[in-house]
Amino acid sequence: MEMKKGTLRQVLLITDGCSNHGEDPIAMAALAREHGITINVIGILEENSPEYHQKGLREVEEIALSGGGVSQIVYTTQLSQTVQMVTKKGMTQTIHGVINSELQQILGKETTIEDLPPEKRGEVMEVVDDLGETMDLELIILVDASGSMEKKLATVQESLIDLSISVNSRIGYNQFALFAFPGKRDDTELLIDWTPRLNSLTQAFTKISSGGITPTGPAIKAAINEFTNRREKRRLITGDEEEYSEGSGF
Amino acid sequence: MMKKNTQKGQVFKLHPGDVISGKWHRNEYSIIRELGSGATGTVYLASGQAGKVAVKAGHDSMAIISEVNVLKHFSRVQGKILGPSLIDVDDYVVNGGQVPFYVMEYLKGESLFQFMKNHNEEWAGILLVQLLTDLSMLHRAGWVFGDLKPDNLLVVGPPSRIRWIDVGGTTQIGRSIKEYTEFFDRGYWGLGTRKAEPSYDLFSACMIMVNLAVPSRFEKKKEGRQQLKDVVRSSPLLSNYQTILLKGLYGKYQSAEEMRNELVSSLNNKGRGKVSGASQTSVGSRRSTHKKVIKKNKRAFMFETVLLGSFLFIVYLFYLISQTM
């Protein structure tokens, strides 16, 4: 099976609570998916969190489900490994989805990788692993900077540097951008513009002034716009654009 | 788009007495008991047509198939068998869903910690040599083990031999490590990338030794590099192998063979004069001899020659004295 290599567009959303401002994040995640962007979500719990807090994190699962991604709820102490695992799984799941839709075109409506005999499935999985390793990755990280997150930002920062180690051990080319929500003036603020490495993080989080609202929906929307603008710019420069997405028609 | 979201939730459990049969190959396996469970599924002891086997059933089809691919590659590694051999791959249909599983050779043995509890501490070094021998073969075949830790190892025997049981993290050299555990991961300690290269496994191998000496998997403080050095120096078991462990932790070895050879010669020198492995020497004395031995092999040889010479001379003197009396 020969696959055209392109760019994986992923969002990693790190939050500790439910959104309370602007657009519905679940709807925005569905919109992102239509743009071929996968939304992965990590919900951070504190040890001894109150019951209502845990309920609030149900939103986390729904955003990921509607954004075609992976979600995980985690205690602060296990953040690094979770960030790495969720990103990797999200990428694999996106590729898996693309291959499933290709299979459906070839073999008929209801065929997925799971319907193939184990031997064939193994061959397909090698292709999935291969692509996960070699495809270029554009990753937008959205960090919830609402008041309750303030104490956790140091751990978040550490886990993102750790993620950079993992992602940069891949063969493919990587680009990261980091947004915080809410920002100083707007719902979303760009903290780090596109960069191949995340080791310049140390300064980034000191700029955040933790606010009271949690505009998760607007943040996802901002990520969609960022990807779209970037794609548009590149199209103007190179004149063509490789597409690699699960969504239909582009 | 995705028909079944096999990722989510529903942890599938089998119980003793359950019989599962494959949808594709129609083989039956009767579950005896659970052996352990990991990130991608649960391993059961079961009996099949060929006798006792280990069955791993998971909920994540992608992860299971990925592991099967690795096991298949293992069987292509020429010569010795490194991992458990793969017997069957299939799906078990239950309650309208589909549970992917694979069957492998059942390895009977003890965990590393159990084994070390019942054996002398020089076994730690010997097991490490065995591990490095296997790693060197794996690396030469173009693979890196990845998630190397006591949980993925077993001591089978007699004769006692280390074997790996879970090969889910095995990665082609040059790619990014598939699976890792922070304590055994050099990226976590700030001592390297997560690129699959031989030195990645050698770091984990050293951390296995650290884990044997300090069973609690402590967390990283500010400076991982210095912290690990302090741990190695302060433990009686580890300081025996100080030079080798620090080289392994700091990524100074190019190959498993290089590390293995240094370890073997250090063990040889240490064991000199001792016949039985059962005799336990005091840690202190062993440590003091160790340092001289590693780098000063030649000088030790000279020293022994001189010692032997003077011994003969003294005997000769006594002989002369006894003759004159």
Contact A166 B90 (CB under 8 A): no
B191 touches chain A (CB under 8 A): no
- Which pairs with CB-CB distance under 8 Å and at least 24 residues apart come from A96-104? A96/A128, A96/B2, A96/B62, A97/A68, A97/A246, A97/B1, A97/B2, A98/A244, A98/A245, A98/A246, A99/A3, A99/A124, A99/A127, A99/A128, A100/B1, A100/B2, A100/B3, A101/A246, A101/B1
pLDDT values of chain A reduced to their tens digit, one per residue, 250 residues = 444 568 999 999 999 877 888 999 999 999 999 999 999 999 988 766 666 566 667 889 999 999 999 998 888 888 888 898 899 889 988 888 888 888 887 777 777 777 888 888 888 888 888 898 999 999 999 999 888 888 888 889 889 988 999 999 999 999 999 999 988 888 899 988 999 988 766 667 766 666 678 899 999 999 999 999 988 888 787 765 454 544 433 3
Give strand ranges (E) for A62-200: 68-75, 136-144, 174-181, 189-195
Q: Where are the domains of chain B?
A: 19-105, 112-274
Phi, psi of A28 (to 5 degrees): -65, -35
Nearest Cα of chain B lies from the Cα of A217 at a distance, in angstroms, of: 23
Catalytic residue among B147, B166, B185, B201: B147
Average pLDDT estimate for B219-235: 91
Nearest Cα of chain B lies from the Cα of A172 at a distance, in angstroms, of: 10
Report B:250-289 residues touching A (Cβ under 8 A). Answer: none
Contact A114 B3 (CB under 8 A): yes
Superfamily of domain B112-274: Transferase(Phosphotransferase) domain 1 (1.10.510.10)
B188 touches chain A (CB under 8 A): yes
Average pLDDT estimate for B265-280: 58
Q: Is A88 left (phi over 0), alpha (psi -120 to 50) or beta?
A: alpha
CA nearest neighbour of B116 among B106, B108, B126, B131: B126
Chain B residues touching residue A119 (CB < 8 angstroms): 89
A101 touches chain B (CB under 8 A): yes
* Nearest residue on chain A to B99, alpha-carbon basis: A114
Joined together, the tokens standing for residue A153 give 């930002």
Chain B residues touching residue A198 (CB < 8 angstroms): none
Contact B231, B206 (CB under 8 A): no
Asked whether residue A212 is domain-assigned, the answer is: yes
Q: How far apart are CA B51 and CA B34, in angstroms?
A: 16
Domain CATH number, residue A185:
3.40.50.410
Q: Scanning the structure block, which residue is given the tokens 């929500």?
A: A181
Range of the domain at A16: 7-238
| String of DSSP letters for B182-208 | GGG-TTTTTS---B--HHHHHHHHHHH
Q: How far apart are CA A150 and CA A144, in angstroms?
A: 9
What does pTM read for this prediction?
0.78
What does each C-alpha distance from B102 to B41, B55, B97 come to in angstroms? 11, 6, 17
A34 touches chain B (CB under 8 A): no
- Give residue A9's identity as a one-letter amino acid code: R
Instruction: Domain count for chain A, please give it.
Output: 1
B305 touches chain A (CB under 8 A): no
Element (H, E) at A205: none
Higher pLDDT, A75 or B208: B208
Domain B19-105, classified CATH 3.30.200.20, yes or no: yes
The pLDDT tens digits for B72-120 are 877 665 556 677 888 899 999 888 788 999 999 898 899 999 999 998 8
Nearest Cα of chain A lies from the Cα of B308 at a distance, in angstroms, of: 55
Which residues neighbour B8 within 8 Å (Cβ) at sequence distance 6 or greater? none
- Give residue A242's identity as a one-letter amino acid code: E
Confidence check: pLDDT of B307 > 80: no
Joined together, the tokens standing for residue B295 give 């780098």
Which residues neighbour B49 within 8 Å (Cβ) at sequence distance 6 or greater? B27, B28
Asked whether residue A247 is domain-assigned, the answer is: no
Q: Scanning the structure block, which residue is given the tokens 């569905």?
A: A30
Asked whether residue A243 is domain-assigned, the answer is: no
Which residues neighbour B237 within 8 Å (Cβ) at sequence distance 6 or greater? B121, B124, B209, B212, B213, B283
CA nearest neighbour of B256 among B90, B140, B122, B162: B140
B11 touches chain A (CB under 8 A): no
Contact A119 B195 (CB under 8 A): no
B96 touches chain A (CB under 8 A): no
Contact B69 A125 (CB under 8 A): yes
Is B147 in the active site?
A: yes
